[in-house]
Amino acid sequence: MMPILQIGPLAIPLPGLLLLAGLWLGLELAERNAHRFGLQASSLYNLTMVMLLAGVAGARLEYALRYPAEFAASPAGLVSLDSGLLDPAGGLAGALIAGLIYGSRKGLAWWPALDAFTPLLTVMGVALALSHLASGTAFGAPADLPWSISLWGARRHPAQLYELLAAALILAVMWPGRKGQITSPPGRYFLTFVALSAGARLFLEAFRGDSQLLPLDLPVGSLRLAQLAAWLALAASLWGLFHLGGPENKGYFDSDATSEPEQHLNQ
Amino acid sequence: MKFRFSNRVIIYIAILIVAALWILASAAAPGSTTIGRIPAPQAGFLAPEISLPTASGEIIRLSDLRGHPVLVNFWASWCPPCRAEMPAIQQVYQSLQSHGVVVLSVNAANQDDRAQAAEFIRSLGLKFPIVFDEAGQASAAYALHSLPSSFFIDSEGVIRDVVVGGMSEAALSIRLHRLLGETGGAASP
């Protein structure tokens, strides 16, 4: 565990730095491969920046609306770098709304855009696992195994390492342009990523020591909320994959497409 | 009407069934996931005990403050972000003390000069309890990596939030209000 990276007088929070690095590398990978999904790199970059800025604003706005008196007394808090005052739900809502509005105005087709984002998401999965390793969060359940690690007062499953391994495997499987990879029809690439990630989370959550449990006692015990959410995501992605059909369906550059990728994809 | 399922549908349904069975097989015994009984300097864990003297020699124990939301703040006089956030801590302490919030300020005395720390306290007019960690035991127990470091502890003694680095008054106030909201407030200790 290494939550702080000390470089001379600078104390840099390593988890945050890892996430930023993941965002940068993932965006670079996505931009380099945007052409495979009929998008221009600049379109993807602009959409990402719009969603990022709107996400941060939404995350902070949610807190400001919930605690108006505190922010009125200390307005500097509105623009502080304190990540603890960023609400994930508000951030996600802000990012999605801004993305929908921006994408609609630019005439971006959604399945190709989601496919083009997928390399970024796969790299962020690895970055998130590394940030968990650095911060000691997402820790494992107590277990006395040869490969257990000592963390937070007990020997535990190295859940962060399991997560890192799964994320790395998903990145390898989803690596853009990998031989034999199926990316048609539009949407299949993204939904495959969602299915793999949901499946991994569903499996690995069983080894976590910080699971939030459903407040319902069943004969088998208490169900883990993250597993239930992952099952729903898995079901939705498999339904989507079934609905999209197989690779024989129309892809990005079929014979009846125009020669201009973005004209073909703008709807 | 005949139904014909493709191989793909059968595989997808099988995956979902296996996944559901795994969820049932990995169900947790109630209370088995970590929250709260092991002492560790991490959100969700019991706050490690602190038992340290004030400048006058009085011993203050964190466990004696159970029943109140507590902010444990580690600092040193040579630390600029510590100096920057102290007025905010003082302000929030003054406004929330009547609601039962306690601030336990821990000077990392093992890496600070006692006289400079005393001048630091005097110059900022700090009124909350301040203890001195001469042997570095509390710093070790809380795995101190950087200063300032703050631990927000609920009335049951469980750490709810850990913040490394200085905080604004809004950030402090919101976190303490969250603790108060969970506890419904308590009389001052």
Q: What is the pLDDT of residue A259?
A: 37
The set of residues, in sequence order, having a beta carbon less than 8 Å from that of A153 and lying 6+ positions away, is B38, B39, B40, B45
Measured between beta carbons, the chain A residues lying within 8 angstroms of B23 are 202, 223-224, 227-228, 231
Q: At A266, is the pLDDT very low, low, confident or very high (cuts 50, 70, 90)?
A: very low
Residue to substitute from B32, B168, B175, B176, interface A, most A β-carbons within 10 A: B168
**What are B108's two structure tokens?**
């990392």
Tokens 């407030």 found at: B185
Q: At A218, is the pLDDT very low, low, confident or very high (cuts 50, 70, 90)?
A: confident
The alpha carbon of A186 is separated from its chain's Cα centroid by a whole number of angstroms, namely: 19
- Taking alpha carbons only, the member of A168, A151, A185 closest to residue A2 is A151
Q: Does B116 touch chain A (CB under 8 A)?
A: no
Measured between beta carbons, the chain B residues lying within 8 angstroms of A231 are 16, 19-20, 23
Can you tell me the mean pLDDT for A205-217? Answer: 88
Q: What is the pLDDT of residue B68?
A: 94
Q: Please state whether the peptide bond connecting residue A9 to the residue before it is cis, i.e. omega within 30 degrees of 0.
A: no
Q: What is the pLDDT of residue A77?
A: 76
**What are A153's two structure tokens?**
């007062």
Q: Does A229 touch chain B (CB under 8 A)?
A: no
Q: What is the pLDDT of residue B36?
A: 57
Lowest average pLDDT, out of A104-113, B22-31, B36-45, goes to B36-45
DSSP letter for each residue of A124-190: HHHHHHHHHHHHT-SPBPB---TT-EEETTEEE--HHHHHHHHHHHHHHHH-TT-TT----STTHHH
Measured between beta carbons, the chain B residues lying within 8 angstroms of A241 are 12
Q: Are B94 and B188 in contact (CB under 8 A)?
A: no
B145 and A3: CB-CB below 8 Å? yes
B153 or A217, greater pLDDT: B153
- Taking alpha carbons only, the member of B161, B144, B164, B143 closest to residue B152 is B161
What is the number of alpha carbons within 13 Å of residue B55 lying toward its C-beta?
14
- Taking alpha carbons only, the member of B58, B52, B57 closest to residue B72 is B52
Asked whether the predicted pLDDT for residue A79 surpasses 50, the reply is: yes
Q: Which of A77, A227, A242 minimises the CB distance to B23?
A: A227
Q: What is the pLDDT of residue B31?
A: 65
To which H or E segment does residue B72 belong? strand B70-75
Q: How far apart are CA B92 and CA A193, in angstroms?
A: 46
- Taking alpha carbons only, the member of B101, B91, B78 closest to residue B176 is B101
**Torsion angle of alpha carbons B127, B133, B134, B136, nearest 10°?**
-160
Interface of A with B in 175-214 (CB under 8 A): 199, 202-203, 205-206, 208-213
A84 and B27: CB-CB below 8 Å? no
Measured between beta carbons, the chain B residues lying within 8 angstroms of A213 are 28, 30, 33
pLDDT tens per residue across span B129-187: 999 999 999 999 999 988 999 999 999 999 999 998 888 888 899 999 888 886 554 44
The DSSP call for residue A34 is G
Q: At A244, is the pLDDT very low, low, confident or very high (cuts 50, 70, 90)?
A: confident
Q: Does B83 touch chain A (CB under 8 A)?
A: no
| Encoded amino acid at A254, one letter | D
Can you tell me the mean pLDDT for A237-261? Answer: 62
Q: How far apart are CA A21 and CA B84, in angstroms?
A: 29
Interface of A with B in 52-81 (CB under 8 A): 63, 67, 70-71, 73-74, 76-78, 80
Chain A nearest-CA distance from B46, in A, is 10
Q: Are A110 and A19 in contact (CB under 8 A)?
A: no
Q: At B77, is the pLDDT very low, low, confident or very high (cuts 50, 70, 90)?
A: very high
SS3 category, A194:
helix
Chain A and chain B share a number of CB contacts under 8 A equal to: 139
Residue to substitute from A5, A7, A61, A70, interface B, most B β-carbons within 10 A: A70
Measured between beta carbons, the chain B residues lying within 8 angstroms of A209 are 33-34
Q: Would you say how long chain B is, in residues? A: 189
Chain B nearest-CA distance from A206, in A, is 5
SS (H, E, C) A77-110: HHHCCCHHHCCHHHHHHHHHHHHHHHHHHCCCCH
Q: What is the value of ipTM here, to two decimals?
A: 0.84
Tokens 């990879």 found at: A181
Asked whether the predicted pLDDT for residue B189 surpasses 60, the reply is: no
Can you tell me the mean pLDDT for B9-33? Answer: 90
Q: Are B155 and B188 in contact (CB under 8 A)?
A: no
Q: How far apart are CA B1 and CA B172, in angstroms?
A: 65
Can you tell me the mean pLDDT for A25-43? Answer: 92
SS3 category, A260:
coil
What is the number of alpha carbons within 13 Å of residue B36 lying toward its C-beta?
9
To which H or E segment does residue A28 belong? helix A14-32
Residues A4-43 as b or e (16 or more Cβ within 10 Å = b): bbeeeeebebbbeebbeebbebbbebbbebbebbbbebeb
Q: Does B173 touch chain A (CB under 8 A)?
A: yes
- Taking alpha carbons only, the member of A15, A40, A31, A11 closest to residue A264 is A40
Rounded mean pLDDT of chain B?
89
Tell me the pTM. 0.83
